[in-house]
Structure 1
Amino acid sequence: MAKKRAREADGASEAPDKMVEDSDSSDDDDDFDMVNVDFEWFNFNEKIDFHGLKALLRQLFDVDKDLFDISALADLILSQPTIGSTVKVDGEEADPYAFLTAINLHEHKEKKPVVQLIDYINEKAKTNEALAPIPGLLASGKHVGLVLAERLINMPSEISPPMYGMLIDEVEAAVEDKEPYEFSHYLIISKTYHEIESTLDIEERKRKKGKQDATMFYFHPEDEVLQKHAAAYGSYSLTKIDEAISDSKRAFQEMGIMPMGSMILIETSKFADAAKAISEYLSPPS
């Protein structure tokens, strides 16, 4: 319990908290800029993090965000402050730039945001044979930890390994305290994208959908590592993708990118190894 209690005491974790980003330079004689950024890891704080957390959840669920009561989901996450973490750059009073948490779907199965999430997961799992085991698992009564994680688009992926490592430590501490976090599996909700032929015409895009390049890319690079440890994983189409006709989404389509949802199911016995593999893959060089 040392890790969990230490974070409660001083706010920030013992995770690496500084990265250096430099601009491109062709040789040693060129001028270049170097930016020092201090990243700090904190517990969730209901008095500070509500609006920033809501914004990140809306980003995670993309065009399907309106299918959920995002405010209620944020409240649920904030109600378990020592499970998961936020990442900030301007101290604890700032909005989070990233977050990661795990929610017990069985424990909260009667709460509105979890009912919505379970319905959504079941619906999407039925559209991809690779995700077929998930609905049965959720209906079995087993305790599944739903992992939700998102970060601002310009945040480096190297912040991910400490977040997964701390989550494992915190869940272990919570189980020791007889709290309801003894999961059989972890289910990660994330997102991928496919490159497509650029078009602003929705009907034309619908007609060409079957001809698109099916190569998958990752918004979160750690997902590619997690999949190697998965019992099941796959992508699914977003429900409201064809209704996304705002200027920002039209620009997104012009770039030739089709966002999709993603699920990764990992047995708890393999989750620590998956987190270690993320660390080996993404941790910055010493």
Structure 2
Amino acid sequence: MGKKRSREVDQDVDMADPTVEKRDGDESSDDDDEDMDIVNVDFELFNYDSQIDFHGVKTLLRQLFDADAQLFDLSALSDLVIEQNTIGSTCKVDDKANDAYAFLTVLNLHEHRSKPFIASIVDYLSDRAKTDDSLKAVVPTLLADADKHVGLVLAERLLNMPAEVIPPMWRCMIDEIEAAVEDKEPYEFTHYLVVSRGYYEVESTLDEAERKKKKAREEQKFQYFHPEDEVMAKHAIASGSYSFSKEGERVADSKRAFQEMGVKPSGFMMLIDAAKFDKAVTAIAEYVGTAS
């Protein structure tokens, strides 16, 4: 495919990370005595490169789908993401040759419906949507409608990435989609289905005897790994969380971080009307800000 529409190939978008703190001195010294240096990190956006990005994209896809990643052909999915290199971006530090710290793309589910690995993803999302009251009312029907062009948005980043680098990635992708539509390419969507993830805090299954003496906790609220998801969900036709089908009942204990409550990762979906997508991205930028 051709070069990236919003910038020349290999040209990057500079986004200086606002204030990343780095400890200077011996780790064993008193916290009050430690000097803190401010480190500016330049995050840059790049086109997908088939010679560089396969493993980085696949790793982030595995993180996105969590326990259910084993259900999909992530190699084929990674290849497709990289192949359409005029849509979406990777976000890296220091050099294009490094692995991506974040990625964003959108796939036309209608255009690629004949591919077995896309068909399996569509079946999975339809099945998982049926477990949530908000999603089941619209998502399965929409995915089964051959006349609707649904854009599957896949986005993930390392958890320590600042949220401020994300709005430029979304804005860039919107510009690229508009340019692609002008060129009569298959990116004129009726809806966007954004796949993300979050978690619930749950009581650990450890120390059950002691735990039975305590009053049962109230059901925990869904927590977002990415703050922009909470904002985008307000612009969605439907949104909701779902359990991973391969998640073990005792997974929370393996993810306890020296605390009483465990963490249960969950999938999260948002269905957004294409006409409202631009407004949703604008709201994200207003909420989290953008790196300068």
Structure index of larger Rg: 2
1:177-196 to 2 correspondence within 5 Å?
177-196=183-202
TM-superposed CA distance for 1:17, in Å, is: 3.8
Q: How many Å separate the matches in 1 of 2:250 and 2:124?
A: 19
Distance 1:118 1:93, change over 3 A: same
Query: Which among 115, 118, 132 is matched to residue 114 of structure 1?
Result: 118
The question of whether the paired residues in 2 share the 8 Å contact of 1:164 and 1:275 is answered with yes
State the partner residue of 2:15: 16
Greater CA drift, 230-239 or 192-201: 192-201
Q: Tell me whether 1:38 sits opposite 2:38 in the alignment.
A: no
TM-superposed CA distance for 1:21, in Å, is: 1.3
The question of whether the paired residues in 2 share the 8 Å contact of 1:189 and 1:262 is answered with yes
3-state SS of 1:34 partner: strand
TM-superposed CA distance for 1:75, in Å, is: 0.6
Q: How many Å separate the matches in 1 of 2:291 and 2:69?
A: 36
State the partner residue of 2:143: 138
State the partner residue of 1:264: 270
Q: Tell me whether 1:73 sits opposite 2:77 in the alignment.
A: yes
TM-superposed CA distance for 1:108, in Å, is: 0.2
Q: How many Å separate the matches in 2 of 1:264 and 1:114?
A: 18
- How many residues align? The count is 271
State the partner residue of 1:251: 254
Query: Which among 233, 238, 244 is matched to residue 232 of structure 1?
Result: 238
- CA displacement 1:110-130 (0-9 Å, x = unmatched): 112211110100110111121
The question of whether the paired residues in 1 share the 8 Å contact of 2:10 and 2:47 is answered with no
1:138-177 to 2 correspondence within 5 Å?
138-141=143-146, 142-177=148-183
Question: 5+ unaligned residues in a row in structure 1: which ranges?
Answer: none
Distance 1:145 1:201, change over 3 A: farther
Structure with the higher helix share, 1 or 2: 1
Q: How many Å separate the matches in 2 of 1:147 and 1:6?
A: 19
1:88-107 to 2 correspondence within 5 Å?
88-107=92-111
Q: How many Å separate the matches in 2 of 1:198 and 1:23?
A: 33
Q: How many Å separate the matches in 2 of 1:51 and 1:285?
A: 26
The question of whether the paired residues in 1 share the 8 Å contact of 2:104 and 2:169 is answered with yes
The question of whether the paired residues in 1 share the 8 Å contact of 2:243 and 2:266 is answered with yes
Distance 1:159 1:118, change over 3 A: same
State the partner residue of 2:28: none
Distance 1:138 1:157, change over 3 A: same
Q: How many Å separate the matches in 1 of 2:250 and 2:112?
A: 31
* Amino acid across the alignment from 1:171: I
- CA displacement 1:36-93 (0-9 Å, x = unmatched): 1110000111110000111000001111110000001001101100100000002111
* Amino acid across the alignment from 1:57: L
Distance 1:75 1:194, change over 3 A: same
* Amino acid across the alignment from 1:233: S
TM-superposed CA distance for 1:243, in Å, is: 7.1
Q: Tell me whether 1:223 sits opposite 2:229 in the alignment.
A: yes
- CA displacement 1:230-284 (0-9 Å, x = unmatched): 0000000111111776xxx743146511110000000010000000000000114
Q: TM-score, normalised by structure 1?
A: 0.87
TM-superposed CA distance for 1:148, in Å, is: 0.4
Q: Tell me whether 1:128 sits opposite 2:132 in the alignment.
A: yes
Q: How many Å separate the matches in 1 of 2:207 and 2:193?
A: 35
The question of whether the paired residues in 1 share the 8 Å contact of 2:12 and 2:44 is answered with yes
3-state SS of 1:114 partner: helix
Distance 1:193 1:94, change over 3 A: same
Q: TM-score, normalised by structure 2?
A: 0.86
* Amino acid across the alignment from 1:138: L
Question: 5+ unaligned residues in a row in structure 2: which ranges?
Answer: 24-31
**Sequence identity percentage:** 55
Q: How many Å separate the matches in 2 of 1:251 and 1:5?
A: 44
